[in-house]
Amino acid sequence: MTSTTSQPAVATALRAAVRGEVLVAADPAYDGARRVWNGVVERFPAVIARCVDTADVAAAVRAAREHDLPLSVRGGGHDWGGRAVREGGVLIDLSELRGVTVDRTARTASVRGGTLAGGVATAVHEHGFHAVTGTAKAVGIAGLTMGGGYGPFIGNHGLALDNLLAAEVVLADGSVVTASAAENADLFWALRGGGGNFGVATTLTYRVHPGPIVLSGMALFPLAQAETVLRGYREILAESPDELSLIGGFFSGPDGSPLVMLYPTWSGDLAAGEPYLRRIESLGTPTYAQMGPMAMPDVLGMLDPFIVDGRHNSVPTRWLPAPTEEVCAVLTDAAARATSPLSSLTLHHFHGAATRVPVASTAYGLRSEHLLVEIISTWEAGDLGDVHRQWAQDLAVALDAHALPGGYPNLLGPDEHERTRAAYGENLDKLLSLKKSLDPDGVFAAVPTLTV
């Protein structure tokens, strides 16, 4: 717990040590700076350090240690469980630490630690490349990467973490190191799947890929067609080439009626991908279908309407070995009974290149083909949150009979300790050993939370 005397002391120390802005509760900008995407999270840090460079981050880490305050890091602010803000602690805010530098010859992008996925996509697109990100512009790229990174290129290029080449990291003692295959290799291994449990990544270097244009878009079908559409969806996944990423799901249309959603991205030869788009459209009679050549920043922007800051959210997830007929029936029934028109279900297909990475080569623990189900229960402030949480939890429990152990590290809840440990499988012991070595005092209680 934070003492009343430590708050002004750490603020004074930080103002003398950092170039960026330092905020306390009396400052007008404090209230906005402490908030994250999930409006359920209501926490009040003792001080917020808006860091502008690596030296600022290192100073903030040291100040938290010296004043015995809990530490947290806010990158994109999309940890639904709220670990980006710790009550009475020092909050390292990376929102001013943004920017992307593209090396066209090396085919790499150097990305500052607070950059959002949309900023990366836009910067590399301007140079004729695409980057491996998640599915939405507003998510911070560093946190996404260190915990996984399912996205439109998973079949062709793997997870976002599979495209990380190096990172500059501030460790728990405030020292700054570079982690790569050639330097601090154990830390580099842990960063790729172990989340922010080992330090603050202030610069990340990624491999980028030629080709700024893909085939993408969205097709929406009435829920009454779900059985037929999802049968076709399963057939396409079963034969899906690496170039095709097909996200499925359910959300409500403008009139509140539940819809089945299919969201393909084809990242190969455009002519070869056209038949897949036409096939997806023909799975039913869509109420909406618009698919064709798109720039990646626009592809990521398609989900922007569903990611609204300040709404309340609960996001349980499950890993499933396959979208069987039984699983699809459970999901369809849940969509029909959704308690909020803002809620949605998203199904991510893990396949192709992502499955060909040996499990032991990164900390990420599941490399077999599977489906990630995001159960996104969303409601406005003042609504009956318990009802919406219960809907999500009931669906999660219904899927347990079909689920794999563990779950997606980036979306595990702060109290899901057993599922977190199960998520790493054969990599768990090494990961915990490195946590004990690199952060023995548990300074970084990040996503997912690793305890030794």
Residue 377 belongs to domain with CATH number? 3.40.462.20
Which CATH number fits the domain that encloses residue 48? 3.30.43.10
pLDDT in tens, 143-161: 999 999 999 999 999 999 9
Q: How confident is the model at residue 452 (pLDDT cuts 50, 70, 90)?
A: low
- Predicted confidence at residue 361, as pLDDT, reads 98
CB atoms within 10 A of CB 292: 10
> Which of 93, 118, 138 represents a domain boundary (last residue)?
93
Backbone angles phi, psi at 320, to 5 degrees: -125, 140
196 and 255 housed in the same domain: no
Q: Is the pLDDT of residue 371 over 80?
A: yes
Under 8 Å between Cβ of 191 and 179: yes
3-state secondary structure the chain: CCCCCHHHHHHHHHHHHCCCCEECCCCCCHHHHCCCCCCCCCCCCCEEEECCCHHHHHHHHHHHHHCCCCEEEECCCCCCCCCCCCCCCEEEECCCCCCEEEECCCCEEEEECCCEHHHHHHHHHCCCEECCCCCCCCCEHHHHHHHCCCCCCHHHHCCHHHHEEEEEEECCCCCEEEEECCCCHHHHHHHCCCCCCCCEEEEEEEECEECCEEEEEEEEEEHHHHHHHHHHHHHHHHCCCCCEEEEEEEEECCCCCEEEEEEEEECCCHHHHHHHHHHHHCCCCCCEEEEEEEEHHHHHHCCHHHCCCCCEEECCEEEECCCCHHHHHHHHHHHHCCCCCCCEEEEEEECHHHHHCCHHHCCCCCCCCEEEEEEEEEECCCCCHHHHHHHHHHHHHHHHCCCCCCCCHHHCCCCCHHHHHHHCHHHHHHHHHHHHHHCCCCCECCCCCCCC
**What's the rounded Cα separation, in Å, for the pair 56 and 50?**
8
Q: Which of 116-120, 175-179, 307-311 has the lowest mean pLDDT?
A: 307-311
Is residue 424 in a domain?
no
**What's the rounded Cα separation, in Å, for the pair 133 and 116?**
10
Q: Is the pLDDT of residue 276 over 50?
A: yes
Under 8 Å between Cβ of 58 and 51: no
- Predicted confidence at residue 3, as pLDDT, reads 45
Q: Is the pLDDT of residue 316 over 60?
A: yes
Is residue 440 in a domain?
no
The conformational region for residue 107 under phi > 0 = left, psi -120 to 50 = alpha, else beta, is left
| Alpha carbon of residue 250 to chain centroid | 19
395 and 260 housed in the same domain: yes
> What total number of domains does the chain contain?
3
**Would strands 90-93 and 47-50 be described as parallel, antiparallel, or unpaired?**
parallel
- Predicted confidence at residue 2, as pLDDT, reads 44
Helix 226-238 × helix 270-281 angle, to 10° = 150
Q: Is the pLDDT of residue 4 over 70?
A: no
201 and 239 housed in the same domain: no
Give the range of the structural domain holding residue 48, as residue numbers without chain letter.
6-93
Is residue 437 in a domain?
no
71 and 108 housed in the same domain: no
Average pLDDT across the chain, whole number: 95
How far CA 339 is from CA of 99, 324, 386, in Å, comes to 40, 25, 10
> Which of 157, 185, 210 represents a domain boundary (last residue)?
210
Q: Is the pLDDT of residue 447 over 80?
A: no
353 and 245 housed in the same domain: yes
Calculate Rg over the CA atoms of the chain.
Answer: 21
133 and 114 housed in the same domain: yes
**Would strands 370-379 and 129-130 be described as parallel, antiparallel, or unpaired?**
unpaired
250 and 388 housed in the same domain: yes
**What's the rounded Cα separation, in Å, for the pair 263 and 280?**
9
pLDDT in tens, 59-99: 999 999 999 999 999 999 998 888 899 999 999 999 999 99
pLDDT in tens, 220-275: 999 999 999 999 999 999 999 999 999 999 999 999 999 999 999 999 999 999 99
Under 8 Å between Cβ of 359 and 367: yes
164 and 247 housed in the same domain: no
Under 8 Å between Cβ of 161 and 145: yes
The type of residue at 293 is P
The better pLDDT of the pair 382, 131 is held by: 131
> Which of 156, 178, 210 represents a domain boundary (last residue)?
210
145 and 172 housed in the same domain: yes
Max CA distance (Å), the chain: 66
Nearest residue to 123 via CA among 105, 139, 142, 108? 108
Under 8 Å between Cβ of 100 and 111: yes
112 and 86 housed in the same domain: no
Is residue 60 in a domain?
yes
